[in-house]
Structure 1
Amino acid sequence: MKIINGVPSHQSPLRRHRPALMLAVSLLLSGCATFSPDRGMGVVSDIAGHTIKKDVVAIRSVDEAQHADDAVKRLLRRALNVDTAVQVALLNNRGLQAAYNELALAETDLVQESLPPNPTFSISRIAGGGAVEIERQVVGDILALATLPFRSEIARKRFHQAQLRAALETLRLASDVRRSYYRTVAANEMVGLLTDAKSTAEATAKLASKLGETGSLNKLDQAREQVFYAEMTADLASARQEATSSRERLARLMGLWDGDLTFRLPNMLPQLPRRPSALPSIEVDAVTHRIDLQIARIELEALAKALNLTEASRFVTLLDIAGIAKTTKDPDGSRFRERGFDIQFQIPIFDGGEVRVRQAAETYNQAFNRLTEKAINVRSEARDAYRTYRSSYEIARQYEREVLPLRKIITEEMQLRFSSMQVDVFALLTEARQRIASMRAGIDAKRSFWLAQSDLQTAVNGGGSGETPTESRPTTTAQAGGGGGH
C-alpha cells in the first residue's frame, strides 16, 4: 500500500509530516541490522573448532592471505598426517573461500531486508494559460514499514542458515580431504608392497627360465612363472597410477600448486587403534549435531514466519490511498491551495489472498515432511556408518592379529623346509604368492577401516553426500588364485 502526501510550496515537509517521520525512524531503529565485524564467520569458526578441532579463516585482505600462506608453508615443511592435511585445505582451498564469500553476501541481504525502503520526494511544476501549478510529493511504502520487523526476523534466520551452510561446506571439505588422504597413503603402501612383489616375481621368472634351459622345468611351469611376473608388473603400474591420481586429488583439495606439489606423505597407513569407539547414543548424537538437519529446522521456522506474514498482509495490498495537496498561482499573483484525496479499492472478487496463503501453507507442510524424512535418514545413516565402522575394524584387526602373522610363520617354515630339501621351489613360490595376496588384502582392510571412521564422523556431524560409498576389497583367495598353482 502506498500513501502520497502532498506538501504546499510555502510549508516545510519535515514540519508537516513529523509524526510520520518519527514512526519511520522508530521502525528503522527497531528493525535495522548492521554488518558484523567478522561477516558471520564466528558461527563457522565455533563449529569447526568444536567438531573437527581446526581453524578456519575468511581471507579478506592481503595481510590475511599472507598469514594463511605462511601457515600453509609451515605445515608443508614436514610429512603430512591427516590432521595437517585437513588444516592445509581449510586455509588454502579457494572453493571454501568462495563459500565464505557467499556468507558475506548473505549478510548484505540481511542488512538490506532490515532497512525500510527509501522515501521518494518529487516536485512538479505545470504552467499554462497564465496559471502556474506547483506540486510536491513524498511517497513512502507503508506496507514495507509495517512488515519490517517480520521481514527482518525472517532475514536473520536466512542469514543463520547461510552461516550453517558455510560450516557445512567446511565439514564437507574436511571429510573429502580425510578420505582422499587415506586413499593416497594406502596407494603408496600398495606401491611399496607390489614393488617388492615384482622383484620376487622377476627373480622367480629368471629362475624358471634357467631351469627350463636345463630341462628341469617344463613349458607349462615356465609359463606360470612368467605370467605371475607379468601380472605383478601390470598390478604395480596400476597401483602407481592410482597413487598418482589420488595424490593429485589430494593436492586439489588442499589448493596446492607449483612448488607446493612436493608435499610429503607417509608410506604406510596409521596403525589401528587398540579398540574401536563405543557410541551407544549414535542416533541421538547425529540428530543433535548434524548441520544439514539444523539448516532444515531453521528453514521450517523461517517458513512459519513467512506464513504468518502472508496471512497478516493478505488484504493489505487491496487498498491504495493517495493524499494530494496542490498550490496554484493565478495570473494576478494570488495563491490558493487545493486539498483532497483519492481512494482506490480493488474488489477481491477473483483473488482475495487465498492463493498466497494456500501456497505458503503447502510450502510449510512440504518443508516439515522433508525435515521429518531427513531426521529419519540421519538416524539410519548414523546406524549404518557405525556398523560399517565396527565391522571394518574387526576385519582389519583380524588381518593384523591373525592372518598376516600366520602367513609370516608359514613363509618362515617353508623357507626352512626348502633349505633342508623337504619342499621344492614350486611350493615355496606358491606360498610367496599367497602371502602377497594376504598382505594386499590387509592393506585394503586397513584402508577400509580409516575410510569408515571418516564416514562415521561425517554421519554424526554432516558434510557428506548422505551416501556411504562401498569399498570393494578383493579376497585373498581371489588374488592368490590368479597366479595358478603347482
Structure 2
Amino acid sequence: MNRTLKLGVALVPLALAACADAGLVGQASAPGAGFSLVSSGTKQATGASGVWAQSAAEVAANEARARTLVHRKTIGPDTAVQVALMNNRGLQAAYADLGLSAADLWEVAMGRVPSFGVTISGIGEVGLARSLEAVVTGAILDAATVKPRRAIAQTKFQQAQFAALGATIALATETRQAWIDAVAAFEAAALVGRAQGTADAASELAAELGRTGAMNRADQAREHVFTAELAAERADARLEAQLAKEKLTRLMGLWGADIDFYVPDRLPGLPGRRPGRSDVEKLALEHRTDLAIGKLELEAIAQEYRLEGQTRMLSDIEITAGAEVERSDTSTGRETETSRVLEASFEIPLYDTGKLTSRRGELAYMRAANELAQAAVNARSEARSAHAAVTGKYNIARHWRDEVLPLRRTIDAEALKSYNGMLTSTFELIADAREGLEAELSYAEAKADYWHAEAAMTAAIWGGATGGAE
C-alpha cells in the first residue's frame, strides 16, 4: 500500500501543472480589465473620455451627466462626442466584447482543476481480499500546453482592447461628422431664409407694378418664380437640418426629454493656421488600431501553430496513469502484488503531422503577414489622402472666403446703389441676389467640407473609420 501512495504522490505534480496563474487571474478578473488602454487612447485621439458603464447605477449616472450637458443647451462638437462616448449603447456593447475577452483570459489563467478517483473493493476466491486502486486523472494535455494557450489568450485580449479603441474612435468621428452636417444644414437654411426676404420684397413689388400696368405678366412670373423656388429650397434645407440633427441625437444615445438641445446656426470660421501634418504617415503607422490588431494576429498565429504542434503530438497518445495493488488473505501468509504504473497507446498516423502543421502554420502566417503589409500600404495612402483633403479643402474654402465673397458683396452693393438710383431694373437686382446666395451657400459648403476633412484626419491616423456603433 505504501508503494501505491508514493506513486500517487509522484503523479500529483503532473495534474497540478495547469494550476492558476495568480497574476494573470488578477489582471483578467479586475473590473474594467483592459479598459485603461481604451481610455488613454481615446483621450489622446479625441480629447474626450471613454466611459464603460458596467452596472445599472453607472448607466443612470451617465444618463444624468449627459442630460446636464445637453438639455436645452447649444452644444459644440466636443460636447456631442463626449455624450456619445458616455451614452451610446452600441459602444457599450462593443465594450462588453472586451469584457468577454477578459473572461476568456481569466478562464485560461485559472487552468483546469485536477480530479482524483479512489475505488476500494474486495476481490478473492478464498478468504478476505482487499484491493486498493488509486487512479489520478490529470489534464496532461492542458499541462503541456498551458503556457502557449495563456500566451494566445493574452494576445487575443490585447486585440480586443485595440478593437474597442477603434470602435470608440469610429463613434467619435461619426458623431463629430454628424454635428458638422447638422450645423451646416442649419446654416444653409438660414442663408436661404435671408435671401427669401429680399425675394419676397421683389415679388410684392412686381405684383404692385403689375396692378399698375408697369410690368407684364411674364415679367411678374419671373419675379414670383424666384420666390417660390427659394421657398422650396428653404423647406428642403430645414428638413435636411432636422434629419441631420436626428442622426446626431441617435449617435449620442438621447431620447425622450433629453432630445431638447440645440446646435449652432453656423459653422466656425476657418482657422488662421494652415492645417495638415507633414508626419501624418508616421503617425498613422504608430497609432492605427487596425495595424496594431494585425501585428497581434501574426503573433497569435505563431503561438497557435506552435500549440497545435504540441497538441497534435499529445492527441495521438492515450495515457493512463495509475497503480493497482492486490493482496490476498493475509491470514494465509500469501501476498500477491501486481503493479500497473503506466500504459501508453500510440496511434501512428500515415502522414507527417509535424510537416503538415508546419505547412499550415507557414501559410496562415504568410497570409496574415501579407494582409498586414497591405493594411500598412492602405494606411499610408489614407493618411496622405487625408492630408491632401484637409489642406485642399482649406485652400478652397479660404478662396471662397477671401476672393469670391468680397467680389460678390461689392457687386451686390453696387447693384443696390444702381437700383436705388433707378439705373437698373428689379430683374438685375434679383439676379445679383441669386448669384450672391449661391456664393454664400458655396462658401458654407466648402467650410463644411474642410471641417469634415479635419475630422477624417483623426480617423486616418487612428484607424477609427466612420460608421461606428449606433
- The question of a shared fold, defined as TM-score above 0.5 by the shorter chain, is answered with yes
Per the alignment, residue 345 of structure 1 pairs with 346
> SS state of the match for residue 17, structure 1?
helix
Q: Check if 1:41 corresponds to 2:35.
A: yes
- Per-residue deviation, residues 33-68 of structure 1 (Å, max 9, x unmatched): 211343211111111122212111211234423432
Question: Partner residue of 1:411?
Answer: 412
Q: Deviations over 1:167-192 (max 9, x none)?
A: 11110110000100000000111111
- Which range moves more in the overlay, 355-364 or 280-289? 355-364
What is the DSSP-based 3-state SS (H/G/I as helix, E as strand, rest coil) of the residue aligned with 2:19?
A: helix
Q: Which residue of 2 aligns with 1:437?
A: 438
Unaligned runs of 5+ in 1: 1-7, 467-486
Aligned residue number for residue 449 of structure 2:
448
Give the Cα separation in 2 of the matches to 1:152 and 1:192: 60
2:102 is matched with which residue: 78, 101, 107?
107
Q: Which runs of 5+ in 2 are unaligned?
A: none
Q: 1:480 is matched with which residue?
A: none
Larger mean Cα displacement after TM superposition, 263-272 or 215-224 = 215-224
Contact 2:18 2:142 in 1 (8 A): no
Secondary structure in structure 1 of the residue aligned to 2:69: helix
Task: Report the Cα offset of residue 450 of structure 1.
Answer: 0.4
Task: Give the match for residue 81 of structure 1.
Answer: 76
Q: Would the aligned equivalents of 2:393 and 2:449 in 1 still touch at CA under 8 Å?
A: yes
- Distance across 1 between alignment mates of 2:231 and 2:155: 59
Q: Which deviates more from structure 2 when the two are superposed, residues 330-339 or residues 169-178?
A: 330-339
Work out whether residues 31 and 149 of structure 1, in 8 Å CA contact, stay in contact via their aligned partners in 2.
Answer: no
Answer with 262-271 or 276-285: which moved more.
276-285
Distance 1:126 1:252 in 2: 70
The one-letter amino acid of 2:192's match is L
Higher helix proportion, which one? 2
Residue in 1 that maps onto 2:211: 213
Change (3 A) 1:337 1:245: farther
Structure 2 counterpart of 1:117, which letter? R
Deviations 1:149-184 (A, max 9, x none): 111111111101111111111101100001000000
1:58 corresponds, among 27, 52, 61, to 52
SS of the residue corresponding to residue 33 of structure 1 reads: helix
Give distance in 2, aligned partners of 1:396 and 1:430.
24
Q: Is the 8 A contact 2:39 2:49 kept in 1?
A: yes
Sort the Cα spacing of 1:465 and 1:69 in 2 relative to 1 into closer, same or farther, 3 A. Answer: closer
| Map of 1:392 onto structure 2 | 393
Shift of the alpha carbon at 1:140?
1.3
Describe the SS at the equivalent of 2:267: coil
The equivalent residue for 2:146 is 148
Q: Do the aligned residues in 1 keep the contact of 2:287 with 2:462 (CA within 8 Å)? A: yes
Paired letter, 2:458: Q
User: In the alignment, which of 13, 19, 41 is matched to residue 28 of structure 1?
Assistant: 19
Counterpart of 1:317?
A: 315
Distance in 1 between the 2:318 and 2:7 partners? 21
Which whole-Å deviations, capped at 9, do the CAs of 1:357-406 have from their partners, x for residues lacking one? 32222111110000000000000001111111111001111111121222
**RCO comparison, higher one (Cα < 8 Å, 6+):** 2
Paired with 1:241 and 1:375, the residues of 2 have a C-alpha distance of 41
| Aligned partner of residue 264 in structure 1, secondary structure | coil
1:118 to 2:113 alignment: yes
- Asked if 2 retains the 8 angstrom alpha-carbon contact of 1:175 and 1:464, the reply is yes
Shift of 1:425: 1.2
Q: In the alignment, which of 9, 12, 17 is matched to residue 18 of structure 1?
A: 9
The offset of 1:245, in angstroms, is 0.9
Q: Which residue of 1 aligns with 2:298?
A: 300
**TM-score, structure 1 normalization:** 0.87
Partner SS state of residue 116, structure 2? strand
How many residue pairs get matched? 457
Q: CA deviation at 1:123?
A: 4.7
DSSP 3-state at the match of 2:265? coil
The change in CA–CA distance for 1:337 and 1:50 in structure 2 (over 3 A counts) is farther
CA deviation string 1:173-226 (max 9, x = no partner): 100001000000001111111222233323323322332333322333222222
Find the aligned partners of 1:199 and 1:129 in 2 and give their Cα distance: 113
Q: Alpha-carbon deviation of 1:426?
A: 1.1
Amino acid at match of 1:172: A
Query: What SS is found at the alignment partner of 1:347?
Result: coil
**Cα distance in 1 for residues equivalent to 2:362 and 2:78:** 46
Change (3 A) 1:52 1:412: same
Letter matched to residue 395 of structure 1? I
Letter in 2 for 1:101: A
Identity of counterpart residues, as a percentage? 35
